[in-house]
């Protein structure tokens, strides 16, 4: 599609960011492939008359268990390819499934053109893949030509799971994730309930879908769908040919030629889909033809035909396919009598934590139950008809966000199991639609959630003055949990058709208002002089409004993500009734989770006790009873044996970890986020009590306040200083608190390490991050401890400072001391450390000298491997 240079550049930039979420959203699963697949090309026949041949680029993963096993078709998201789900496929195969992945027509190396999961095209393609599975000796059969098979996928891949289940009775179970019920409603939503023909055009999301694929063959290289998907791990392979020809001979095949105008305009879409988008993009209005075309690729078009067990995983942070789409799918499928479970998780097309491990467990559990006939569908101890992820604060051990799963025995829908009301107040207010619809209010930028950030599952939105009416409640007398879609009735005065956007804020006294999940409810209403009443269904949310907070309803005339009228106009908006109806579900149960109380109370007490002991000098006079040293390891700086740490929800942060560190070593502790590195370090420092195993430093068992901790210097999770004092004064005060003689501090050596020069005499509040980092490391080295533990010590340092830090740490260890460094900079660890321990999901993956690790890899893979490559291989091979 042709755009002016600036506008086209903006589309490309936005698309590059967005399609990492929208195009390959199914890449939410953990990345630990177990089984390697075999690449192949599967020819299929599709088209309205079954006269078109398409070659699908596929990969088959045999079950690790051997023999015949149930099969899973794993579908990718829009803009991705089979490579987007490679890790997930290997994981499922390792759990005893025969897995088939493929690049959908128009994506990756597959031929054909994009038809948006049409029954005539993509659905027929998947039916051909099921035929292929039925002939495999690794696949269990329910009958001749009928494999035992399920489908899982996210977004575009979730829709093909639903659509195929409607058209092929051989499907036995599905797990669609963050996908649609009615694609027309998704792109033309209407909160008044009149339908997509009356809906407001979701121009930014629609533009991302269509322009990304259209740009695929633009002159000058065309990043498009394949290139964008490559940013998120999908194959960025160009199509075999032009991709703009009719698919009768397999679109995308044939001689390579310069793209014509139609090819640049339509990319790899079927021409009729491209033409539909052109029309609605120019007018900003849906036509009945557009609605019919989009609905043919939607579950709304097949009522009563999806009759298989269905687990619907929908993101709470999703302005493309919000929770209402999962709700509609759930109601339609449950009406057939099929088992349905619904989960609202902390993620979606607009970001979030994703909950990769939990989603993986739920998916595998569902297939275990309905394909294998074993296991729990929840994958974590039991089934739940309805699950909602909620914010549980921060874990005091790891300081990471804690996500709680509230569960219920029935799914109440968006209207809730019970409803309460909150009274809103405010007079009728004028709202103006500016000429050209600009400047526009901002709720969410597609794929980025709230543009202005925000916490607690929402964003700090921006409403333009003069364009918004505001109605607010009194401070809430008690906490109010909202689960579902609130509703309110407003009245619109004026003449002509008004385009409006309703949103509900959480307003506290001391911070900016928060828009839950960054969602708005668009609607069109014909205003009248007498006032036109309209009941607005607000976006579905799950949020606790705390006591003392207010609920604020804002009705605006513009929103950045939607098309609005160009003509200026002024309307008046009033409350037709003051009651804001709020759905809830008191039956949702949130299990106790997080660490037991003593895991945070004991470290606090230990710090106080340790401080007293140090100040009185008692900590240096001997060990406590029961702390008898192990003579065999009295000269060993660190021995970790069978270490384990779990929380009440059963999740293990550290799992049976054992390794040993000798004098003179610089040990690198490596692992991805969530591997358990920081939790291990905090147990090493005596700040957290392990559940299993033990840690010994120079033969003495570590516990809160253990005297042997005086031989350890540490810097973990960021420096903490008194900001009004100078750097030198902070170091002196710290050393005084230990109760040790000033001459034992080796202050000058520490100051030389800091390398702060005259800045040592300045207040720490004036320091940059790098300066604070260097001061913290100097503080950890005060007293020249025998064991030095540093967490990400090079954060905030520039290259020369990093090189100097490398030299200091090596020299420190060469004097007979020991250094442990946790870092994500693999190249830096390779140059600094003599030994390495690799962790993944709390478990030990590998341990030993860096040279041995690289040498083994060289023997297997050829000379010259990097630690980064070895690390990725180790993580990929671990389970």
- The pLDDT tens digits for 538-590 are 999 999 999 999 999 999 999 999 999 999 999 999 999 999 999 999 999 87
Q: Kindly report the CATH number assigned to the domain that includes residue 5.
A: 3.40.50.1820
Cite the DSSP H helix spans in 577-704. 598-616, 677-684
239 Cβ neighbours under 8 A, 6+ residues apart: 109, 111, 216, 217, 226, 252, 268
Rounded to an integer, the average pLDDT of 365-377 is 85
Strand, coil or helix: 274: helix
Q: Is the pLDDT of residue 729 over 60?
A: yes
Could you tell me which residue, 218 or 614, shows the higher pLDDT?
Answer: 614
Strand, coil or helix: 743: helix
Distance CA 216, CA 226 (A): 7
Give, as one character, the DSSP assignment of residue 371: I
- pLDDT score, position 719: 60
- pLDDT score, position 873: 65
142 and 23 in one domain?
yes
45 and 102 in one domain?
yes
Mean pLDDT: which of 464-473, 630-639, 793-802 is highest? 464-473
Helix (H) / strand (E) containing 166: helix 156-167
Q: What is the dihedral of CA 451, 455, 457, 463, to 10 degrees?
A: -40
- pLDDT score, position 858: 46
**Are 103 and 82 contacting, i.e. CB atoms less than 8 angstroms apart?**
yes
- Name which of 346, 311, 270, 337 is nearest 177 in CA terms: 311
Angle among Cα 126, 156, 517 to the nearest 5 degrees reads: 155
- Name which of 6, 160, 10 is nearest 73 in CA terms: 160
Q: Which domain-ending residue is among 551, 584, 617?
A: 584
- pLDDT score, position 258: 40
Q: Which domain-ending residue is among 337, 358, 382?
A: 382
Count of domains forming the chain: 3
- The pLDDT tens digits for 854-873 are 665 444 444 445 555 666 66
- Name which of 239, 235, 209 is nearest 222 in CA terms: 239
Q: What is the DSSP string of 413-465?
A: -TT-SEEEEEEEE---EEEEE-GGG-S--BS-BTTTB-TT--SSSEE--B--T
When pLDDT is cut at 50, 70 and 90, the band that residue 615 belongs to is: very low
- The pLDDT tens digits for 99-137 are 999 999 999 999 999 999 999 999 999 999 999 999 999
Q: Which domain-ending residue is among 584, 599, 632?
A: 584
**Are 214 and 18 contacting, i.e. CB atoms less than 8 angstroms apart?**
no
Distance CA 150, CA 99 (A): 10
Distance CA 674, CA 115 (A): 39
- pLDDT score, position 309: 97
453 and 353 in one domain?
no
State residue 272 phi and psi, 5-degree precision.
Answer: -65, -30
436 and 370 in one domain?
no
- pLDDT score, position 78: 92
Report field, pTM of the whole predicted structure over 0.75: no
- pLDDT score, position 388: 95
373 and 422 in one domain?
no
Q: Kindly report the CATH number assigned to the domain that includes residue 514.
A: 2.60.120.260
- The pLDDT tens digits for 7-42 are 443 333 333 333 333 333 333 444 344 578 999 999
Could you tell me which residue, 512 or 644, shows the higher pLDDT?
Answer: 644
- pLDDT score, position 862: 46
- pLDDT score, position 14: 37
Asked whether residue 642 is assigned to any structural domain, the reply reads: no
List residues bridging with 484 in a β-sheet.
541
Q: Is the pLDDT of residue 237 over 60?
A: no
- The pLDDT tens digits for 502-550 are 999 999 876 788 999 889 999 999 999 999 999 999 999 999 999 999 9
**Are 39 and 58 contacting, i.e. CB atoms less than 8 angstroms apart?**
yes
Could you tell me which residue, 63 or 750, shows the higher pLDDT?
Answer: 63
Q: Is the pLDDT of residue 249 over 70?
A: no
- The number of CA neighbours under 13 Å toward the Cβ of 667 is 26
431 and 372 in one domain?
no
Average pLDDT of the residues of the chain: 80
- pLDDT score, position 608: 41
Could you tell me which residue, 59 or 398, shows the higher pLDDT?
Answer: 59
Rounded to an integer, the average pLDDT of 352-369 is 85
507 and 369 in one domain?
no
Distance CA 846, CA 854 (A): 12
When pLDDT is cut at 50, 70 and 90, the band that residue 630 belongs to is: confident
Asked whether residue 636 is assigned to any structural domain, the reply reads: no
848 and 750 in one domain?
yes
Rounded to an integer, the average pLDDT of 154-163 is 97
When pLDDT is cut at 50, 70 and 90, the band that residue 678 belongs to is: confident
Asked whether residue 273 is assigned to any structural domain, the reply reads: yes
210 and 109 in one domain?
yes
- For 557-583, letters b (16+ CB in 10 Å) and e give bbbbbbbbbeeebebbbbbeeeebbbb
437 and 375 in one domain?
no
Q: Is the pLDDT of residue 288 over 80?
A: yes
- pLDDT score, position 125: 98
Asked whether residue 618 is assigned to any structural domain, the reply reads: no
Q: Kindly report the CATH number assigned to the domain that includes residue 709.
A: 3.40.50.300
Rounded to an integer, the average pLDDT of 596-609 is 36
428 and 373 in one domain?
no
When pLDDT is cut at 50, 70 and 90, the band that residue 449 belongs to is: low
Asked whether residue 650 is assigned to any structural domain, the reply reads: no
- The pLDDT tens digits for 696-727 are 999 999 887 788 888 888 876 556 687 778 88
Cite the DSSP H helix spans in 303-405. 323-334, 356-367
Asked whether residue 411 is assigned to any structural domain, the reply reads: no
- The pLDDT tens digits for 175-214 are 999 999 999 999 999 999 999 999 999 999 998 877 755 4
**How many C-beta atoms surround the C-beta of residue 193 within 10 A?**
11
612 Cβ neighbours under 8 A, 6+ residues apart: none
461 and 345 in one domain?
no
264 Cβ neighbours under 8 A, 6+ residues apart: 1, 2, 214, 217, 218, 219, 244
Query: Percent of the chain at pLDDT above 90?
Result: 50
User: Would strands 52-61 and 98-102 be described as parallel, antiparallel, or unpaired?
Assistant: antiparallel
Q: Domain containing 192: what range?
A: 1-382
Asked whether residue 389 is assigned to any structural domain, the reply reads: no
Distance CA 645, CA 473 (A): 45
- The pLDDT tens digits for 103-113 are 999 999 999 99
The position carrying tokens 């290259």 is: 799
Asked whether residue 676 is assigned to any structural domain, the reply reads: yes
- Name which of 648, 646, 651, 649 is nearest 693 in CA terms: 646
| Residue 21 region by backbone torsions, left for phi larger than 0, else alpha for psi between -120 and 50, else beta | alpha
Q: Quick one: 400 exposed, middle or buried, by C-beta within 10 A (0-12, 13-18, 19+)?
A: middle
Longest dimension (CA), the chain: 92
């Amino acid at each position: 599609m042709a755009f002016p240079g600036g506008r086209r550049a903006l589309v490309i930039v936005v698309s590059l960011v967005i399609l990492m979420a929208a195009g390959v959203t199914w890449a939410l699963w953990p990345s630990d492939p177990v089984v390697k697949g075999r690449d192949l090309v599967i020819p299929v026949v599709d088209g309205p008359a079954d006269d078109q041949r398409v070659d699908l680029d596929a990969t088959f993963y045999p079950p690790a268990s051997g023999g015949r096993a149930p099969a899973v078709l794993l579908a990718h998201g829009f803009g991705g390819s089979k490579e987007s789900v490679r890790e997930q496929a290997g994981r499922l195969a390792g759990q005893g499934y025969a897995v088939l992945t493929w690049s959908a027509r128009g994506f990756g190396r597959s031929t054909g053109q994009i038809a948006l999961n049409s029954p005539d095209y993509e659905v027929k393609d998947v039916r051909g893949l099921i035929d292929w599975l039925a002939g495999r000796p690794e696949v269990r059969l329910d009958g001749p030509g009928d494999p035992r098979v399920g489908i899982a996928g996210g977004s575009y891949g979730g829709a093909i799971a639903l659509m195929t289940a409607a058209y092929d009775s051989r499907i036995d179970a599905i797990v669609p994730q963050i996908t649609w019920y009615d694609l027309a409603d998704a792109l033309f939503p209407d909160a008044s309930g009149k339908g997509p023909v009356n809906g407001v055009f979701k121009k930014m999301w629609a533009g991302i879908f269509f322009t990304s694929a259209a740009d695929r063959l633009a002159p000058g290289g065309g990043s498009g769908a394949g290139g964008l998907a490559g940013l998120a791990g999908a194959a960025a392979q160009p199509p075999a040919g032009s991709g703009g020809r009719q698919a009768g001979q397999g679109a995308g095949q044939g001689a390579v030629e310069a793209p014509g105008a139609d090819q640049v305009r339509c990319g790899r879409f079927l021409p009729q889909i491209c033409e539909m988008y052109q029309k609605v993009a120019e007018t900003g209005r849906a036509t009945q033809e557009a609605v019919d075309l989009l609905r043919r690729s939607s579950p709304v078009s097949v009522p009563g035909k999806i009759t298989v067990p269905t687990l619907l995983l929908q993101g709470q942070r999703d302005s493309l396919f919000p929770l209402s789409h999962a709700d509609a799918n759930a109601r339609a499928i449950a009406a057939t009598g099929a088992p349905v479970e619904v989960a609202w998780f902390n993620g979606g097309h607009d970001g979030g934590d994703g909950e990769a491990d939990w989603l993986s467990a739920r998916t595998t559990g569902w297939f275990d139950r309905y394909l294998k006939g074993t296991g729990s569908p929840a994958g974590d101890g039991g089934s739940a008809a309805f699950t909602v992820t909620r914010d549980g604060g921060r874990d005091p051990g790891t300081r990471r966000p804690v996500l709680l799963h509230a569960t219920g025995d029935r799914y109440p829908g968006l209207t809730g199991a019970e409803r309460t009301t909150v009274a809103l107040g405010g007079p009728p207010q004028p709202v103006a639609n500016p000429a050209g619809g600009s400047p526009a209010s901002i709720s969410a930028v597609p794929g980025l959630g709230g543009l202005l950030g925000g916490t607690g599952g929402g964003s700090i939105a921006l409403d333009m003055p003069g364009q918004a009416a505001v109605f607010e409640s009194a401070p809430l007398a008690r906490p109010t949990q909202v689960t579902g879609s609130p509703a309110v009735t407003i009245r619109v005065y004026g003449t002509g058709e008004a385009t409006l956007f309703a949103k509900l804020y959480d307003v506290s006294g001391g911070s900016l208002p928060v828009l839950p999940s960054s969602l708005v409810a668009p609607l069109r209403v014909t205003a009248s002089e007498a006032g036109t009443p309209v009941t607005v269904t607000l976006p579905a949310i799950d949020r606790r409004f705390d006591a003392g907070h207010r609920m604020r309803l804002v009705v605006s005339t513009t929103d950045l993500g939607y098309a609005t009228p160009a003509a200026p106009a002024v309307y008046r908006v009033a409350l037709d009734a003051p009651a804001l109806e709020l759905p809830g579900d008191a039956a949702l149960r949130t299990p106790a989770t997080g660490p037991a109380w003593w895991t945070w109370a004991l470290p606090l007490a230990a710090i106080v006790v340790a401080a007293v002991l140090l100040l009185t000098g008692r900590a240096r006079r001997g060990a406590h009873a029961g702390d008898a040293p192990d003579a065999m390891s009295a000269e060993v700086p660190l021995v970790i044996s069978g270490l384990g740490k779990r929380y009440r929800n059963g999740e293990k942060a550290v799992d049976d970890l054992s390794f040993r560190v000798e004098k003179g070593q610089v040990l690198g502790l490596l692992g991805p986020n969530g591997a358990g590195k920081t939790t291990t370090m905090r147990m090493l420092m005596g700040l957290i009590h392990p559940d299993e195993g033990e840690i010994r430093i120079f033969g003495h068992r570590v516990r809160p306040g253990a005297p042997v901790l005086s031989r350890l210097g540490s810097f973990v999770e960021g420096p903490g200083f008194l900001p009004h004092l100078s750097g030198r004064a902070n170091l002196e005060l710290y050393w005084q608190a230990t109760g040790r003689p000033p001459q034992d501090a080796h202050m000058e050596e520490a100051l030389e390490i800091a390398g702060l020069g005259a800045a040592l005499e300045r207040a720490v509040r004036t320091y940059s991050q790098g300066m604070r980092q260097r001061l913290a490391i100097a503080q950890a080295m005060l007293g020249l401890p025998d064991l030095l533990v540093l967490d990400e010590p090079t954060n905030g340092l520039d290259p020369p400072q990093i090189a100097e830090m490398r030299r200091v740490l090596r020299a420190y260890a060469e004097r007979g001391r020991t250094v442990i460094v946790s870092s994500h900079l693999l190249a830096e660890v390779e140059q600094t450390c003599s030994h390495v321990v690799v962790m993944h999901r709390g478990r030990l993956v590998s341990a030993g000298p860096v040279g041995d690790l690289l040498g083994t890899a060289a023997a297997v893979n050829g000379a010259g491997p990097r630690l980064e490559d070895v690390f990725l291989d180790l993580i990929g091979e671990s389970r």
